[in-house]
Chains A and B, each alone.
Chain A
Amino acid sequence: MSNGSSPVLEVKNLKTHFFTRTGVVQAVDDVSFSMYEGESLAIVGESGCGKTITALSLMKLIPHPGKIIQGEIHLHSDTGDVDLVKQSDRQMADIRGNKIGMIFQEPMTSLNPVLTIGYQLMEPLKLHLQMTDEQARKQAIELLRRVGIPAAAERLNDYPHQFSGGMRQRVMIAMAIACSPLILIADEPTTALDVTIQAQILELIRKMNQDLGVGVMLITHDLGVVAELCQRVIVMYAGQIIEEAPIEEIFNNPKHHYTIGLLRSMPKLGPHVKERLVPMKGLPPDLLNPPKGCRFQPRCPARQAKCAETPPLMPMGPRHRAACWFPEEHGA
């Protein structure tokens, strides 16, 4: 689907830094990527690599003391092309929940405990689509039905604590897609859920992606989740994109040694698996003082002198780019 269609989102040289008392944390450092209409894109990396801040930057919901200090975020919609970085708070509010929806990691705390599900679900409908109470109520029931909540009409008056974690995440999804956004950002949507529920939620997200054509941006550290859902993968490390490729390429022909490390540390299922899991050594670097040159080099098994220079994202094949001077050669 991504092939040939036009980009809905173009991020150029985005830098989001946090100005803390101890110094400037370069959480997102010069990140550029595009997302295509109806595509399902994964942003993968260890915790602290900047993937969540990248997503929050798109919504301009960066927590204090973070700021976008540079870059452009172009959103192409039927109403034209806007640079989100330049939008005012009021203009951003029109985009959030309307053009871009977002769901979060913690379904247990992401819904307001003192408001009914119905109220929370109707809120974006009334806000962005100017629906009346009656219309919004009807639509809310329809949305709940669509995300697979039984007895939708009755549950509208229930409060979040009357729902299970999986059900709450369904409600969150219903809320995020209520206004048929171009993009649904899902930040670790299944991390806090049981394995069986995880599969159901991923299935639901896939359905939304395929049936409604909503572009899905999945933020995760779990390559297993990516394999189930996404067409294209962006791997982030220490605030930067280090590899970007279609899903099969990432699994069969990873170029960056960090991506390889991630894959090795991931359990595989199947009859012929004999490989042992190899944990990656070390930890992501401190973003207050990132290493010079390639940021992965202190942990990299293929490190050489040239790695002291910062590698740009270099083409490695069709639609495959990686930021590594000595990419892995896959002969076998």
Chain B
Amino acid sequence: MLRYTVERLLWMFPTMLAMSLIIFVIMHATPGSPLDPLAANANPLTPQAQANMARHYGLDKPLHEQYLTFLWNVVHLDFGISYVQKDREVSTIIQNTFPISLVLGSLALIFATTIGLTLGIVAAVRQNTWIDYLATSVSMLAVSTPNFVVGVLLIVVVALGLNLLPIAMTSADLFDPWSIEYWSKNWTFWILPTITLGVGPLATIARYTRASMIDVIRSDFVRTARAKGLLEGAVVMRHVLKNALIPVVTIIGPLFAAVGTGTFVVEFLFSVPGMGKFFVTSMSGRDYNMIMAVLLIYGFFLAIMNIVVDLLYGFLDPRIRYN
């Protein structure tokens, strides 16, 4: 198990390298540059000034040199300077914004898994009752509705219509995930973004859990458990649940991806000052350093999460042993 984990972690290096190369090539092989006057948010500069800037940022060097310099810097956690937010280090921007996205994503995932699993389990155990029909149709709706549509509806109904919750994070308090004071003052801001981001994954988890539970409930070993004299509750808790979770775990990987890209949308919609919002603005500004940093961090997290999921899989299913 340990060897497998280490091997998987080591494999991440070539993967990340390949990813950075692909992104680098796509960015530089296409027309336009961060200094291009046509790019949005970039100042129109004279060709002379552009050349000076290019030299200053090393954009005039051959591509392979640029790439190697970039790699060398990344190893030192230096992602360079943001071309759009001038004079600001990309690493500083990320340091300030990434924790916000991470907290938002985690909240959404916790929300999605707890409610999604519960809903799926209840629907499966009470199959063909009104609870089941309600859960199934709600998750059907939620799975096929884009998250920004959900967000807009929530804003209109909950925030504007019923005036229950605030829309945007306008608090002057600096974000500090470890401060109880921050949360006690600002927790209401986080509710709508969390729900908006989490509701799609929630529905997916609920659907998979229900289907998988129903599958397992019909299996021979569950009949054995009943034949042993276990009550239905114990049968579900001890014999069905663990088996039913195995296929559900496989979708958690793609769900991480969905939540990750979802943060862009949700942060944009609710004015959450997270990394996703910066990413969107950096895109139109061809902010090479920022784009690269965000994509790499994103890929890194995804890779880590996939390893975690695989390990969880092995933990749940004794038939899988890594060696």
Contacts and interface: CB of A to CB of B under 8 A. Distances in A.
Contacts of B238: 115, 123
A113 B231 contact: no
B31 interface: no
Given A114-B242, A114-B243, A104 B228 contact: no
A110 B319 contact: no
A124 B220 contact: no
A113 B319 contact: yes
A93 B230 contact: yes
Contacts of A113: 221, 243, 317-319
Interface string B93-125: 000000000000000000000000000000000
A308 interface: no
B226 A98 contact: no
Nearest to B317: A114
A155 interface: no
Interface string B233-257: 0000011001100100000000000
Contact of B221 (A90, A101, A109): A109
B232 interface: yes
Interface string A109-135: 111111100000001100110000000
A106 B227 contact: no
A275 interface: no
Interface centre among B228, B230, B232, B317 (most CB of A within 10 A): B228
B316 interface: yes
Contacts of B317: 113-114
Given A89-B232, A159-B319, A112 B227 contact: no
B188 to A, nearest CB: 41
B92 interface: no
A175 B219 contact: no
A109 B219 contact: yes
A111 B220 CA distance: 8
Nearest to A111: B221
A102 interface: yes
A117 to B, nearest CB: 11
Given A110-B224, A114-B318, A172-B224, A127 B219 contact: no
B126 interface: no
A252 to B, nearest CB: 36
B229 interface: yes
Interface residues of A, number: 30
Interface in A195-217: none
Nearest to A119: B238
B55 interface: no
Contacts of A59: 226-227
Contacts of B223: 61, 104, 110
A11 B226 CA distance: 22
A83 interface: no
A123 B318 contact: no
Interface of B: 219-221, 223-232, 238-239, 242-243, 246, 316-319
Given A98-B229, A114-B242, A123-B228, 7 more contacts: A109-B220, A110-B224, A112-B225, A113-B317, A114-B316, A127-B228, A159-B318
Interface of A: 59, 61, 89-90, 93-98, 101-102, 104, 106, 109-115, 123-124, 127-128, 159, 161, 172, 175-176
18 contacts: A59-B227, A61-B227, A90-B231, A93-B229, A94-B229, A96-B227, A97-B229, A104-B223, A104-B224, A109-B221, A110-B221, A110-B223, A111-B224, A112-B243, A113-B319, A123-B225, A123-B238, A159-B318
